[in-house]
Amino acid sequence: MSEYPESVFSPRAKANRDGVVYDASKERVIYVEDMQAIENEIISIEQDLEKFFIHSDSGPWITDDYIESIQLFKGKCSRDIKQYENFEVDLLDLPVEASDIVDIASYNAIYFFLSDATPSRLFYFDFTNDEGFLEIDLPAGSNTGSSLFVYEGDLYISCFSYPARVVKVDLGNYENVNYLDLPAGNNYATSFAASGDYLYVGLSTSPGGVARVKLIDFTYLDTTSFASGENIAISLFLLYNTLFVTLYSSPGYVVALDLDTMLEVYRWSAPTGFNLPITSVSDGSYLYVGFACAEGYIVKLKLTDLTQVAAYSSGNTPEPVSRLLWDGVDVYAIHSTSGVLLRKIKTETMIALGSLLLPVGFDYTRAAMFGHFGLMITNYGSSTSLLTGYLGDIDTAII
């Protein structure tokens, strides 16, 4: 009987008969090595499926209740759901009040959508009930929200304000909302990371900086500032005891900080022309950095010392990168073009596998992630749509 999707396939132990040695030239003889190769393929496929089909606490997501909740979500968002061309994606209209979405985050089966309005607005949809698309009240003065970050049962919101504000929402009680205004000079919060007792807040100042916030009492601790010309801590990534800070400068920089001392341990300085790094993602071994310059560079850096391994460029066509995503295998780049272009990059080779021009109306986007629907991406504007799907044909699309 099949074990999947309840669990990944686990084969029985087996061996060749005593004295039998594997011989690849004997094509009509089945050896244990042949069976193991088939079993390994099965395990690999099921593990890859796990990356796309997210499981709930109670088991696999592919249940009647879960399918009903997806249909409910689509029904609450839009009466007009359009299948886009030959790709397995849907285009949904979000409620009219959910405009100018700048980020999406998820916690278990709940999705949060942040608007950068004045004041900022936070919407959510909970797959575990049928209440629809709802809003969480944010404190007065929480203007121009810029990013969302979930850590240990709390949702953090950065505000692109002067000075910067960090809003904290208890995900067990949405009425328990606190905020912290950073000291003067700590302006324009744009990114987050967290480890242990500290929340790290990237600041879009000149030069850029990273503020530390003590999680135990939600108070400000200190700020690490970078050198002149190293501006705007646009993206943070944390691995073990190192914080990687992407600085939106010309040329760009990535600086690695030791968490114990907040001192630089190594850095990458971009070559001439590699300007305005705006986004980064990691697979745990490499950092992938996307650039907002016309060439649309995507650079692959080793996390151990930030040496450059490879780089991708969109060539002569101006295709600035606005967002990078990692699906568990490869990198997806969202390019700001005349219409939004989504491109899949093979991480091993840094070669483009395929691309998709998003529908009319997706002229600019800031919010995207992989979730229950596969890709989830919104356009940025007064009338917001959500594109969702698995993009199964993108590998063979025209680049």
User: What does the mean pLDDT of the chain come to?
Assistant: 84
- What lies within 8 Å, CB to CB, of 342 at 6+ separation is 332, 333, 334, 335, 355, 356, 357, 358, 375, 377, 391, 394
Which of 177, 245, 242, 241 lies closest to 211 in space, CA to CA? Answer: 245
pLDDT band with cut points at 50, 70 and 90 for residue 271: very high
Q: What is the DSSP string of 286-326?
A: EEEEEE-STT--EEEEETTT--EEEEE--TTS---EEEEEE
Question: Is the model more confident about 80 or about 383?
Answer: 383
Domain ranges of the chain: 14-52, 56-99+314-399, 101-225
Q: What is the DSSP string of 74-129?
A: HHHH-S--EE-TTSSEEEEEPPTT--SEEEEEEETTEEEEEE-SSS-EEEEEETTS
The two beta strands, 351-357 and 339-346, are antiparallel
pLDDT tens-digit series, residues 282-314:
999 999 999 999 999 999 999 999 999 999 998
Question: Is the model more confident about 364 or about 334?
Answer: 334
Positive or negative torsion for Cα 183, 199, 287, 50: negative
Question: Contact at 8 Å (CB) between 82 and 125?
Answer: no
User: Helix (H, G, I), strand (E, B), or coil: what is residue 165?
Assistant: strand
pLDDT band with cut points at 50, 70 and 90 for residue 66: low
Mean pLDDT for 10-36 is: 82
Query: From the CB of residue 33, how many other CB atoms can be counted at a distance below 10 Å?
Result: 11
pLDDT value of residue 399: 37
Q: Model's pTM, two decimal places? A: 0.80
- Residues facing 372 on adjacent strands: none
pLDDT value of residue 93: 77
Q: In which region does residue 169 sit, left (phi positive, over 0), alpha (psi from -120 to 50) or beta (all else)?
A: beta
Which of 146, 170, 168 lies closest to 159 in space, CA to CA? Answer: 146
d(CA 52, CA 74): 19
d(CA 271, CA 283): 23
Which of 233, 335, 347 lies closest to 287 in space, CA to CA? Answer: 347
Q: What's the CATH architecture for 101-225?
A: 7 Propeller (2.130)
Side chain identity, residue 74: K
pLDDT tens-digit series, residues 356-396:
777 766 777 888 898 777 788 888 877 677 877 766 555 54
Give the pair of three-digit tokens for residue 169: 């929402």
Mean pLDDT for 333-339 is: 80
